[in-house]
């Protein structure tokens, strides 16, 4: 099937296969062809790119990505979609659909294999809002040689992630690896069913290697934001906490959001 994202085609498929979006998987299907095309073009992928798509749904974005990319690997957790994806994407020889929870994927191994054939590997996804942070942290801390991540998230989440004044384990993890940008806003009205909030596309461009154990350290550091960095990390470093903080030039009374990413990276050496 061509132009899956057209509203008439999406509704036809949902009716044909008796499918309804489920809250369990945070599903909202894109039904605006122009929006899907804009998302695909915003990724700046080419035939030297392998795309890993998380949650293809009915295949609307997968189709558009396949026209630009060399290869598209789609990971879908909802096995109800097997028949519909066979109909919508079965004719594309550069798309592979794998029914697996993405969080169980050995991402580094997959990316290493794809890098043997493709110059770039990027992640593209329309993430369920409830799992946005988990997916991004999983990808960023995987050690996989990914070039970029392009994902749709809740508008408010996107605005926080690109705000230089907002500090969290995720924003620091992103900062340690590269840069983030807000690419475009997406109206809630281009989905079926329509969610309660608008969305946005963000891009994370990976420029540096992942620092081992950084995600673990950041989560521990932000266990309780109102506590000092010393109190949050003493469970991790035990009796050496104060001396380790001193060696890294960190004042023990500082709050976790006051610590620079370079200082957190320095702390990982003592894990």
Asked whether residue 258 falls in the same domain as residue 178, the answer is no
159 in Cβ contact with 172 (< 8 Å)? no
Q: Would 1 be classed as within a structural domain? A: no
pTM of the model: 0.94
133 and 181 co-located in one domain: yes
Residues 117 and 192 in one domain: yes
Strand partners, 235: none
Are residues 161 and 237 located together in one domain of the fold? no
How far does the chain reach from its first CA to its final CA, in angstroms?
52
> Domain with 108 in it: what CATH number?
3.40.50.150
pLDDT, the chain, mean: 95
State how far the Cα of 257 lies from the Cα of 221, in Å rounded to an integer: 9
Burial class (CB in 10 A: 0-12, 13-18, 19+), 2: exposed
Residue range(s) defining the domain that contains residue 221: 214-268
Burial environment of residue 245 by CB neighbours within 10 A (0 to 12, 13 to 18, 19 or more): buried
Domain identity same for 181 and 218: no
What's the CA angle centered on 125, arms 9 and 56, to 5 degrees?
Answer: 40
**Same domain flag for 134 and 235:** no
Q: Are residues 65 and 130 in the same domain?
A: yes
What are the tens digits of pLDDT across the range 13-42? 999 999 887 767 778 889 999 999 999 999
CA dist list (Å): 133 to 83, 124, 151, 225, 252 = 30, 15, 12, 17, 28
If you ran DSSP here, which 8-state letter would residue 158 be given?
H
pLDDT tens digit at each of 271 positions of the chain: 789 999 999 999 999 999 887 767 778 889 999 999 999 999 999 999 999 999 999 999 999 999 999 999 999 999 999 999 999 999 999 999 999 999 999 999 999 999 999 999 999 998 777 888 999 999 999 999 999 999 999 999 999 999 999 999 999 999 999 999 999 999 999 998 888 999 999 999 999 999 999 999 999 999 998 899 999 999 999 999 999 999 999 999 999 999 999 999 999 999 8
The residue from 176, 206, 236 where one domain ends is 206
Q: Which of 151, 206, 207 is nearest to 182 (CA)?
A: 151
Q: Total domain count for the chain?
A: 2
Domain identity same for 11 and 73 = yes
β strands within 101-225, DSSP E:
120-126, 148-154, 178-186, 191-192, 199-206
Q: Are residues 125 and 54 in the same domain?
A: yes
How is residue 235 written in tokens?
């469970």
Domain boundary at 183, 206, 229, which? 206
Please say which residue of 160, 182, 206 terminates a domain.
206
Quickly count: other Cβ atoms within 10 Å of residue 15's Cβ: 9
168 and 40 in a common domain: yes
User: Is 79 in the same domain as 116?
Assistant: yes
Domain containing residue 254: CATH number? 1.10.8.100
Following CA atoms 268, 171, 39, 144 in sequence, which dihedral angle do they give, to the nearest 10 degrees? 0
- Residue 37 falls inside a structural domain: yes
The partner residues of 76 in beta bridges, in order of sequence, read 99
Residue at 78 is within a domain:
yes
């Amino acid at each position: 099937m061509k132009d899956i994202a057209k509203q008439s085609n999406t509704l036809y498929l949902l009716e044909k296969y008796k499918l309804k979006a489920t809250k369990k998987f945070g599903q909202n299907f894109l039904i605006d062809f122009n929006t899907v095309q804009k998302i695909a073009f915003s990724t700046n992928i080419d035939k030297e790119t392998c795309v890993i798509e998380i949650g293809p749904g009915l295949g609307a974005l997968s189709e558009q990505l396949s026209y630009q990319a060399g290869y598209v690997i789609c990971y879908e957790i909802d096995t109800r979609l097997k028949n519909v994806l066979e109909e919508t994407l079965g004719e594309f020889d550069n798309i592979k659909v794998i029914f697996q929870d993405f969080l169980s994927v050995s991402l580094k191994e997959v990316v290493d294999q794809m890098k043997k054939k493709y110059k770039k590997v990027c992640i593209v996804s329309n993430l369920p809002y409830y799992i946005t942070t988990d997916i991004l942290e999983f990808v960023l801390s995987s050690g996989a040689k990914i070039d970029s991540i392009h994902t749709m998230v809740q508008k408010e989440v996107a605005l926080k992630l690109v705000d230089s004044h907002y500090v969290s384990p995720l924003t620091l993890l992103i900062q340690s690896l590269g840069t983030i940008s807000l690419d475009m806003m997406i109206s809630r009205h281009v989905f079926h069913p329509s969610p309660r909030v608008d969305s946005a596309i963000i891009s994370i461009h990976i420029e540096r290697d992942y620092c081992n154990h950084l995600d673990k350290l950041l989560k521990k550091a932000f266990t309780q934001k109102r506590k000092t960095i010393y109190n949050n990390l003493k469970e991790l470093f035990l009796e050496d906490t104060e001396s380790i903080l001193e060696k890294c030039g960190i004042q023990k009374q500082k709050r976790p959001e006051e610590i620079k990413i370079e200082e957190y990276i320095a702390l990982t050496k003592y894990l």
